[in-house]
Amino acid sequence: MKKILIFLMAASFIGLAANEVMAGGNTLFIQKCGSCHKSGGKAEVINPADKAGRVWQKYFKRGRHPVDTGISDSDMAAIITYLTNHAADSDQPEAAIIPK
């Protein structure tokens, strides 16, 4: 019984942690990418659903982005996870988190 309880507590903690990562990626995307990619910004508005998940996963790794974003590796990893989870081919495509 005790073991089951510990397992359930651990499982709900991991669930919470995963949600935190999601929320973080979402906020980081708006803050970091959105600092340039917004209406009236330096670059055109972008959203996760602009590309398929596997395209987002390769985009920065292959140096496709035209300018240095200045975003740290750990923030970038959280953003890429968020973009992939809400990409065009995901279960929950996000087309308008940054309004056009």
- Number of residues lying near ligand HEC (CB under 6 A): 15
* Contacts of 39 by beta carbon, 8 Å cutoff, 6+ apart: 45, 98, 99, 100
Do the Cβ atoms of 72 and 19 come closer than 8 Å? no
- Both tokens assigned to 46: 């972008």
Q: Does 66 interact with ligand HEC (rule: CB under 6 A)? A: yes
Q: What is the closest distance, in whole angstroms, from the C-beta atom of residue 98 to ligand HEC in the complex?
A: 10
Q: Does 95 interact with ligand HEC (rule: CB under 6 A)? A: no
C-alpha to C-alpha distance for 84 and 26, rounded to whole angstroms: 11
Residue 71-90 contact track with ligand HEC, rule CB under 6 A, x = bound: x-------x-----------
Q: Does 40 interact with ligand HEC (rule: CB under 6 A)? A: no
